[in-house]
Structure 1
Amino acid sequence: MSSSNSRLVYRAPQPDDVQRLFAIFGDPQTNLFNPAGPMQHWADAQRLLDRWMAQWASGGYGWWAIAHRDTPCHIIGFGGIAPMNYLGQQRINLGYRFAVQAWGQGYATELGRDALTLAFETLQLPEVFGLVRPDHTASIRVLEKIGMQRHGLLDDVPGQAPSLVLRVCRPATEPA
């Protein structure tokens, strides 16, 4: 999938994505705001990839493998929307993680907009949430730029400030 003017292309994760997943999620730089730190074990990458592929199989959507349109075989990140349990219930959560080399080019904002288009126009979901650490100003800016507003806090990391919960609702459609 990609929109007509998108620089990015998206596809469902595949078994052979495990190497890129481990490289990106295991990089300490991509985990500066992740309290769990970088992924340490190949088996963790395999479990995460298996979970993503199961979400695709059961729901027909989930986190994408993301590449640049000009190099569609080179994965630069993973992200999209998928169910996640927090705030006492299951929510549709927008998330992403890009390789360091892809930072600062507006890809997260582009991904976020494309994921919301899928959520609201294709899947007709009522709302999408984003969960972000309070000191991760770059991701907060991305989520706010795509229309998310602060919705609450989630005390999810013992001994640290709560994460911010942001939300955007599906725009009302004009009657025909």
Structure 2
Amino acid sequence: MPSLFGRKNIFAMKYLTTPRILLRAWDEEDTIPFYRMSQDPRVMKYFPGLWSMDMVKDFIIRMNEQLSQKNFTLWAAEVKDCKQFIGFIGLNAPTWNAHFTPCVEIGWRLATEFWGQGYATEGAKVALEYAFLEMHIPEIVSFTVPDNSRSRSVMDRLGMIRDIAGDFLHPKLASDHRLAKHVLYRIQNPLIKV
């Protein structure tokens, strides 16, 4: 039976590395640990609900398709020393409409046992460098709910600036949903003169 996670052009796909982590294309072996992570209420606190196995598989397929089409994605992240999956870090092109789209966002989601160790910041820094130096993307955005202080701290450490006027209601949620309000952060590519 063929794999859901076709690896046809794997050697042409971009991966990123830091001293401690590897950001790479998703593999079939990531499905179970990502599902477990997506069932953890602490990890999913700022999302509308826990993810089913079908949602996890769909996400993995979409991220690998985005990697082959756009040469960036929310890469699977693993600790290099032990090759352990820890979550995802990287770049994404949202498919919904907002006042700042189309755009490229930077994002991360890690299993709780890897929180507080600097992995999100470390991986996001190399993804940001890749976006600016190799992809020549003029601006990167990030967004979350106002109460998500962990993610907002990573955005601050990346040098992103809160765009207070850009705060928005997430279009995929009802306007009165507890997670609808989002704060928007931006960072400009310093190599591109406006």
TM-score, normalised with respect to structure 1 = 0.89
TM-score, normalised with respect to structure 2 = 0.81
Instruction: Specify the code of the residue in structure 2 equivalent to 1:83.
Output: A
Residues paired across the two proteins, number: 169
Matches within 5 A, 1:1-150: 1-3=16-18, 6-34=19-47, 36-39=48-51, 41-72=52-83, 74-84=84-94, 85-88=96-99, 89-150=101-162
Runs of 4+ in 1 over 3 A off after TM superposition: none
In the alignment, is the contact (CA less than 8 A) between 1:76 and 1:102 conserved in 2?
A: yes
Distance 1:137 1:86 in 2: 25
Q: Deviation digits for residues 99-155 of structure 1, max 9, x if unmatched?
A: 010001111111111110110011111010001110011111110110111121111
**Secondary structure class of the residue paired with 1:28:** coil
In the alignment, is the contact (CA less than 8 A) between 1:13 and 1:63 conserved in 2?
A: no
Higher strand share: 1
Percent identity over the alignment? 26
Report what 2:190 is aligned to. Answer: 171
Shift of 1:50: 1.0
Report what 2:167 is aligned to. Answer: 153
Structure 1: runs of 5 or more not aligned? none
**Secondary structure class of the residue paired with 1:117:** helix
In the alignment, is the contact (CA less than 8 A) between 1:112 and 1:143 conserved in 2?
A: no
In the alignment, is the contact (CA less than 8 A) between 1:31 and 1:38 conserved in 2?
A: yes
Cα separation, partners in 2 of 1:166 and 1:86, compared to 1, 3 Å: farther
Worse-superposed segment, 79-88 or 115-124: 79-88
In the alignment, is the contact (CA less than 8 A) between 2:92 and 2:106 conserved in 1?
A: yes
Structure 2: runs of 5 or more not aligned? 1-15
Please tell me the root mean square deviation across aligned C-alpha atoms, in Å: 1.7
